[in-house]
Structure 1
Amino acid sequence: MSRTFRRLLALSIMFMTACTPVPQANMAPTLPTRTMGLQDALPPMNRFAGSHVATPTRSNREIGKDFMDLAFRMESGRVVSRLTRFEAPISVRVTGDIPASLTPDLRALLARLRSEAGIDIFMTGSETASITVEAIPRSVLNAAVPRAACFVVPRVSSWDEFKTARRTPTVDWTTLERRDRAAVFVPSDVAPQEIRDCLHEELAQALGPLNDLYRLSDSVFNDDNIHAVLTSFDMLILRAYYDPALQNGMTRGQVAARLGPVLARHNPAGEGRAARPQNDTTRDWIDNIEIALTAGSSATRRRNAALQAVSMAGALNWAGPRDGFAHYAFGRLNVGHDSDIALASFNQALTIYNRSPETRLHAAHVAVQLAAFALSSGDGARVLDLVNGAMPVAAAHENAALLATLMMFKAEALEMTGQTAAATAVRMDSLGWARYGFGADRNVRARLREIASLNPLKGT
């Protein structure tokens, strides 16, 4: 399993600034162009506490289907014939070029796994640890596995072991009878948030399900990568995965026969809820999304693939995360090509995401795109309306990059509406989160410049 660079969450300069219309000539006089943070020393980095990330409770019948599809299939579509897991207690060690943020974030994650998923897991310095987290330079990681931001493999405990065993049955998850060793490889030289996100996704898959499902709105087990940290749904899945009623080597049928009482015990609120109709995500839709989000194809082919995904989602009546994500992807690919189509696609994605509390975080990401349009057109009030609703959601889901970006937009909108002192305070507050979300100071300053350049009162 790997966390790929296909993430639409990381806003590129091209995607953000190319969407903006030309400022009107009759705008108010240009404001000073100096922006707090571009020359000043940045404040200390902020970080989240690693607290419970709650998502709405769904029907246990619905969650049961999700569990089975996550546990007994790989992302590629290959069948996993038996359930495999570690036997407790589970030890985790850290090696390699360890950045300062990694160990505190890992400790916070393990604490959540113990308290929310009920898994007996702890850190150790022993070379015989169940799971090894190794931090290596991104260039080294990508040279071996292109397009992977991070990944997890079974039966190895080091990068050298992996290089020897790669492309052999040793690292094939479907050949496991049980899990004894696994290695999580994360980049050592990227933003703290990216490292933390890798820890959450890859450690969860080292422990439990190996699949991702695009239909999930409340989980890191989704290739849209909207969720950055493990949610209450994910913790429920892991708690069920390690319930004593389930055992290593169980077949799909054996797990299905025992799963109902397991979920009833761990999620009693889900017993009385009606299950919504669910249909599987078609391979054609996934292929189109893959083309749309993967660099290498022509811009025209990527836009056509995204449009095809939009059409297929509509034809299949997917009124949820898949439909919204297809519109979101289509909008992103039309930024700089056709601003009217991009804006219409973002508005449609927001409409879809706003229909359910399960997709509040998805809507917050779309709000960034719409804020870029509003700011560039001089509509400060609209920017404030968008970001004020999205900021609490970003904070609740511990997404510092998203939170900092929204705060930077808010600062520009406050300045645009004459609230200079408030703008300065919000901008300064954004920088601590930006240091966690974007990493190096040059990345933080680049984001400040990028967003400030959208303000027509500041010029270019």
Structure 2
Amino acid sequence: MARAPFSLIPPANTLKGAIIMIASAGFLTGCVTSSGPQDRATQPPPARVLPPEEASPSPASKALRSYYAGVQAELLSQGLMRTDTGAKDAPFSARMLANNFARIAFFDEFDSSSGRLVARSTEKRLRRWQKPVRVGLNFGEAVPQKQRAIERARVRSFLARLTRLTGHSIQLADSGVNFHLHILNTDEIKSIGPTVRRTDPSIGEAELDSIINMPESTYCQVTTSIDDSTSLIERAFAVVRAEHPDLLHLSCLHEEISQGLGLPNDSPQARPSIFNDDQEFALLTPMDEMMLQMLYDKRLTPGMTLAEARPIIDQLAESLVGGDS
């Protein structure tokens, strides 16, 4: 199996994925004592025990929440994190679409063959899912119950959109999950190492470290497990930080779920696209939609090399955009 982790900043790429069942990192415990009537007047009122979703975040989590609010504000002030389609100022041709697809679908940004993650562009064969994708959405205690319903609705809507684009079944599920999506705060992320080890004993130290020690500059991450003999994605595991403000959070959902379908790379030439580290666009764009359509087109097959696929890629791009003028 080949493992592939990706992240929004810096984007990560291809390692061998691990399915991780997240355990809650924090518990509230209390001690109850009783007192007689003569003591009640001098006893302080009992402390209110908060339910898990109201539990106070740690200082580290509070600091990150403030930090990412500042990051989003700064990006927006620069005209980045756009939510439009880019049609007015970022038109693209069939050739541009084909070149971007080739770079994003057939290359990884990071290489782990040396036992550690190295930023090195590495060409790979085409990878995608064949089995239906069943997404399990899991929350840490940092996410309030009322927010969880909103999250489920928006993820379900996005998965339906991806299903329409790809023609591949991609749904939220409570059983048979093969794409684990976790929304956790920084303390919960650091606590999942033992669970990762239990679920995937073969995971390397570099891959495990990339999950539990995500630096501040890594907003979110997805790891896929790929069958080397077939180039089929078997499992995926994604982490999105619970400290993000709404648009940054939604941007992470769009990118990590889409990358987990088989578009692992980023390219500075991809515009308008979320598969670009410049953060110009926050949400899936028309170019991104076309790349997902191309990825799951039956004329392309998992395991193809870029050389084998290139004539088909050009044909698909021309059919979606039209010939270059």
TM-score (norm 1): 0.43
Give the 5 Å matches for 1:41-190: 53=85, 55=87, 58-75=92-109, 76-97=119-140, 99-100=147-148, 101-126=150-175, 128-141=176-189, 144-147=213-216, 148-155=218-225, 177-190=231-244
Greater Cα offset, 209-218 or 107-116: 107-116
- Can you list the C-alpha shifts for 1:17-69, whole angstroms capped at 9, x where unaligned? xxxxxxxxxxxxxxxxxxxxxxxxxxxxxxxxxx9946465221221111111
Q: 1:4 aligns with which of 2, 5, 9?
A: 9
Label 1:202 to 1:234 Cα distance change in 2 as closer, same or farther (>3 A).
same
User: Is the 1:138–1:190 contact (alpha carbons within 8 Å) kept by the matching residues of 2?
Assistant: no
1:63 counterpart letter in structure 2: L
1:90 counterpart letter in structure 2: V
TM-score (norm 2): 0.59
CA distance in 2, matches of 1:230, 1:175: 31
Between 1 and 2, higher relative CO (CA 8 Å, sep ≥ 6) is seen in 2
CA distance in 1, matches of 2:163, 2:280: 24
Any unmatched runs of 5+ in structure 1?
17-50, 156-169, 275-460
CA distance in 1, matches of 2:245, 2:187: 14
SS at match of 1:4: coil
CA distance in 2, matches of 1:138, 1:102: 19
2:312 aligned with 1:272: no
User: Is the 1:92–1:122 contact (alpha carbons within 8 Å) kept by the matching residues of 2?
Assistant: yes
Label 1:52 to 1:132 Cα distance change in 2 as closer, same or farther (>3 A).
farther
CA distance in 2, matches of 1:117, 1:57: 23
What is the CA-CA distance between 1:154 and the residue it aligns to?
A: 1.6
CA distance in 2, matches of 1:84, 1:121: 16
Residue 250 of structure 2: aligned partner: 196
CA distance in 2, matches of 1:118, 1:102: 23
CA distance in 2, matches of 1:52, 1:132: 29
What is the CA-CA distance between 1:178 and the residue it aligns to?
A: 1.6
Q: Which has the higher strand share?
A: 2
CA distance in 1, matches of 2:171, 2:323: 35
What is the CA-CA distance between 1:89 and the residue it aligns to?
A: 2.4
Give the ranges of 4+ consecutive aligned residues of structure 1 lying more than 3 Å apart after TM superposition.
5-9, 51-57, 116-119, 139-143, 173-176
SS at match of 1:243: coil
CA distance in 1, matches of 2:291, 2:96: 12
Q: Which has the higher helix share?
A: 1
SS at match of 1:11: helix
2:220 counterpart letter in structure 1: C
RMSD: 3.1
2:171 counterpart letter in structure 1: F
- Can you list the C-alpha shifts for 1:123-159, whole angstroms capped at 9, x where unaligned? 1111x3231101211344375222321100123xxxx
1:10 counterpart letter in structure 2: Q
CA distance in 2, matches of 1:57, 1:114: 25
User: Is the 2:274–2:288 contact (alpha carbons within 8 Å) kept by the matching residues of 1?
Assistant: yes
CA distance in 1, matches of 2:186, 2:316: 40
What is the CA-CA distance between 1:106 and the residue it aligns to?
A: 0.7
SS at match of 1:79: strand
2:185 counterpart letter in structure 1: P
User: Is the 1:218–1:227 contact (alpha carbons within 8 Å) kept by the matching residues of 2?
Assistant: yes
What is the CA-CA distance between 1:77 and the residue it aligns to?
A: 3.2
- Can you list the C-alpha shifts for 1:322-349, whole angstroms capped at 9, x where unaligned? xxxxxxxxxxxxxxxxxxxxxxxxxxxx
CA distance in 2, matches of 1:139, 1:194: 19
Residue 244 of structure 1: aligned partner: 298
SS at match of 2:183: strand
Label 1:9 to 1:119 Cα distance change in 2 as closer, same or farther (>3 A).
farther
Any unmatched runs of 5+ in structure 2?
1-5, 12-67, 78-82, 110-118, 191-211
User: Is the 2:166–2:297 contact (alpha carbons within 8 Å) kept by the matching residues of 1?
Assistant: no
CA distance in 1, matches of 2:74, 2:323: 44
User: Is the 1:88–1:121 contact (alpha carbons within 8 Å) kept by the matching residues of 2?
Assistant: no
What is the CA-CA distance between 1:96 and the residue it aligns to?
A: 2.9
Residue 319 of structure 1: aligned partner: none
Label 1:202 to 1:176 Cα distance change in 2 as closer, same or farther (>3 A).
farther
Name the % identity: 24
